[in-house]
Amino acid sequence: MAKLGNEIVTDLPLQMCLFFNCCYFPFWLIISVVIAYVKYDHLNYLYKFVLVTILIAATIIELVRLYLGYLGNLTEKVLIFSIYYEQFTRFSGTSIATKFRRPKSRR
């Protein structure tokens, strides 16, 4: 029996992780900014610059990573998903990303 149309196959565990990551991201950002504010007066000028730079860079990278993850998973575009996957493995610091590899289908 032939199927009509395109079948959309998204990765449900990945989509759930992205959803919860989007839910918890504002809390992480608020806590990070509050901690940086508390520590800011006790640091010298170089560490102040480094703290602000890393906080801004981490926030931008996380926003881009979440956007590319959603876009790549829902639209099934391999290039976008591979960029997300590379950022996930590079910046996560854990080996959880190996769980999201799809097994090769037999044809």
Token pair belonging to 63: 């926003």
Give the Cα separation of 66 and 97 in Å (integer): 14
Residue 83: inside a domain: yes
Residue type, 31: I
Which domain, by its residues, includes 43? 25-92
pLDDT score of 95: 43
Asked if residue 18 belongs to a domain, the reply is no
Taking only the tens place, the pLDDT of each residue in 15-50 is 888 889 999 999 999 999 999 999 999 999 999 999
- Specify if 98 maps to a domain: no
Amino acid at 57: A
**The pair of three-digit structure tokens given for residue 37, joined into one six-digit string:** 């504010």
pTM to 2 decimals? Answer: 0.65
pLDDT tens for each residue of 92-107: 554 444 444 444 555 5
| pLDDT, position 12 | 78
